[in-house]
């Protein structure tokens, strides 16, 4: 049996291996292949931040980046009409695990393979530029992934360059900003803007925002801050930029959004702004990551909006974000 494949199979529909350590081989070897390996492994998830016990779908993909067909020894369950990664390529063997997960600073532990079905020996051929993969719910194979923590996944299938992936599992958070004029609390939009919310949370955990100033205040428009330089050109230290995650949410008072360059929707970094009025011109144009949680937040915004500014909208007296902290949403009561 031999099949040329470039598809995925969800869930537990993995095929089993005929050999304990199948070798990926090109016919003949191509100069396009990475040094020491013919295939390229990749890991991905739908997002990088999960709630405890939320489904955690991990996609494992093998790409053939060469100009040659690559053949792998494999075995297929009787009657299989779809092809996916063999167990031994996903999980490895007891002697040579391929899939490992580390929680925090702990040493990576092998992810155990499910029981393999009866299989028929054969060969799986991967055409030039093609891919084959599988998707598993990591919680089912690695119980600690159901609970809070920072995780690192390592995947080193035989005959391929290895891949790594990081993600977090934690309870939903509320962002709390404390200023000299009051406190502001924001519910975060995890589902609508997962990448930008994850970026914001990452910076908040590192205390990046503590002591920064709100450098732009325009009444009936916006309050802007989050810049490490205290100006509109401040960015994350690593220079990373975030893609836009836009939706049709009407931009209203109390919405928290990521600032960006006017000419590039995919240029959000660390700066954010809060709406001080209904702003229809901003509808669908900026990534909204949060919303004012309570009336106390709106009162604080109204108080801040009355401060005096210069001609550029900079408060005459520094408006400092004393600290930005994160609290569990379930433990953060709304103020009257």
**Quick one: which of 279, 147, 170 has its CA closest to 222?**
279
271 and 240 share one domain: yes
Report the percent of the chain where pLDDT is more than 70: 82
CB 162 within 8 A of CB 156: yes
Q: Max Cα separation, the chain?
A: 77
Average pLDDT over residues 257-282: 97
**Are 161 and 213 in a shared domain?**
no
Same-domain check for residues 72 and 149: yes
Does 211 lie in the same domain as 66? Answer: no
The pLDDT, as a whole number, for residue 84 is 67
Q: Model confidence at 9, in pLDDT bands (50, 70, 90)?
A: very low
The size of the chain, in residues, is: 336
pLDDT for the residue 117? 60
Beta-bridge partner residues of 153: 101, 165
pLDDT of residue 168: 93
What is the C-alpha to C-alpha distance for residues 229 and 86, in angstroms, rounded to an integer?
Answer: 51
> What does the pLDDT average to over 122-141?
87
Average pLDDT over residues 290-319: 97
116 within a domain of the structure (yes/no) = yes
Q: How confident is the model at residue 159 (pLDDT cuts 50, 70, 90)?
A: confident
**What does the pLDDT read at residue 322?**
98
Q: Count of alpha carbons within 13 Å of 77, Cβ hemisphere only?
A: 17
- Is the model's pLDDT at 20 over the cut of 80? no
Is residue 48 scored above 80 in pLDDT?
Answer: yes
- Nearest Cα neighbor of 154 from 109, 195, 185, 117 is 109
Assess if residue 336 is contained within a domain.
Answer: no
**CA-based nearest residue to 211, from 321, 314, 319, 324:** 321
> Do both 148 and 230 map to the same domain?
no
| Domain encompassing residue 217 | 173-331
Once rounded to an integer, what is the mean pLDDT over residues 280-289?
97
CATH, residue 270: 2.40.100.10
Q: Flag whether the pTM goes above 0.85.
A: no
Residues 136 and 268 in one domain: no
Choosing from 154, 169, 184, the residue where a domain stops is 169
- Across 128-138, b (16+ Cβ under 10 Å) vs e yields eebbbbbbbeb
The SS3 of residue 199 is helix
Is 157 in the same domain as 12? yes
Q: Which helix (H) or strand (E) holds 90?
A: helix 87-90
Q: Establish if 189 belongs to a structural domain.
A: yes
From 17-21, 180-184, 227-231, the region with the lowest mean pLDDT: 17-21
Q: So what's the pLDDT on residue 299?
A: 97
pLDDT of residue 114: 83
Backbone angles phi, psi at 51, to 5 degrees: -80, 155
- Are residues 158 and 192 both part of a single domain? no
Do 203 and 319 share a domain, yes or no? yes
| Residue 120 confidence class, pLDDT cut points 50, 70, 90 | low
> Is 188 in contact with 289 (CB distance < 8 Å)?
yes
The whole-chain average pLDDT of the chain stands at: 85
46 versus 36: which is more confidently predicted? 46
Q: Edge-to-edge strand order for the sheet containing 182-188? A: 216-218, 222-225, 272-275, 255-258, 288-292, 182-188, 173-179, 323-328
Classify 145 in phi/psi space as left (phi over 0), alpha (psi -120 to 50) or beta.
alpha
Asked which of 125, 151, 169 is the last residue of a domain, the reply is 169
Q: How many CB atoms lie within 10 A of CB 331?
A: 8
pLDDT value for 240: 94
Q: Is the pLDDT of residue 274 over 60?
A: yes
Highest-pLDDT range among 14-23, 77-86, 286-295: 286-295
State residue 336's pLDDT score. Answer: 67
CA distances 251 to 190, 223, 269, Å, are 17, 14, 20
From 131, 149, 169, the end of a domain falls on: 169
DSSP run (H or E) holding 299? helix 295-305
Task: Let me know whether 112 and 157 are in one domain.
Answer: yes
Q: Do 98 and 40 share a structural domain?
A: yes
258, 135: one domain: no
Reduced to 3 states (helix: H, G, I; strand: E, B; else coil), residue 333 is coil
What is the average per-residue pLDDT within 103-129? 80
pLDDT for 4 equals 39
Q: Report whether pLDDT(7) > 80.
A: no
Q: pLDDT tens digits, residue range 165-185?
A: 999 999 999 999 999 999 999
Residue 138 domain-assigned (yes or no): yes
User: Is residue 164 in some structural domain?
Assistant: yes
How many separate domains does the chain show?
2
User: Which residues, 6 or more positions from 278, have their beta carbon under 8 angstroms from its beta carbon?
Assistant: 250, 251, 252, 253
pLDDT of 73: 65
């Amino acid at each position: 049996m031999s099949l040329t494949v470039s598809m995925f199979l969800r869930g537990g529909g993995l095929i089993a291996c005929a050999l304990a350590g199948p070798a990926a081989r090109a016919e003949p070897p191509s100069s396009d292949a990475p040094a020491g390996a013919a295939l390229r492994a990749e890991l991905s998830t739908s997002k990088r931040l999960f709630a405890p016990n939320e489904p955690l779908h991990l996609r494992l993909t093998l790409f053939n980046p060469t100009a040659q067909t690559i053949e792998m020894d494999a075995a297929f369950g009787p009657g299989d009409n779809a092809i996916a990664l063999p167990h031994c390529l996903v999980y490895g063997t007891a002697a040579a695990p391929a899939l490992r997960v580390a929680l925090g600073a702990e040493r990576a532990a092998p992810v155990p393979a499910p029981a393999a079905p009866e299989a028929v020996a054969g060969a799986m051929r991967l055409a030039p530029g093609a891919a084959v993969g599988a998707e598993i719910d990591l919680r089912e194979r690695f119980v600690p992934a159901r609970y809070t923590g920072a995780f690192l996944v390592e995947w080193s299938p035989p005959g391929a360059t290895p891949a790594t992936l990081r993600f977090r599992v934690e309870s939903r958070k509320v962002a709390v900003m404390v200023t000299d004029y009051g406190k502001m609390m924001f519910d975060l939009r995890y589902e609508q803007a997962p990448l930008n919310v994850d970026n914001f949370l990452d910076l908040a955990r590192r205390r990046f925002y503590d002591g920064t100033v709100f450098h732009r205040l325009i009444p009936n428009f916006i309050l802007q801050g989050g810049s490490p330089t205290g100006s509109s050109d401040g960015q994350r230290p690593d220079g990373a930029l975030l893609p836009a995650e836009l939706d049709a949410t009407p931009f209203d008072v109390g919405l928290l959004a990521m600032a960006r360059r006017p000419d590039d929707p995919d240029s959000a970094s660390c700066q954010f702004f809060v709406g001080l009025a209904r702003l229809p011109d901003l509808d669908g144009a900026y990534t909204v990551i949060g919303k004012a949680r309570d009336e106390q937040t709106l009162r604080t915004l109204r108080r801040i909006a009355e401060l005096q500014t210069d001609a550029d909208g900079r408060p005459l007296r520094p408006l400092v974000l004393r600290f930005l902290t994160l609290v569990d949403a379930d433990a953060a009561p709304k103020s009257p």
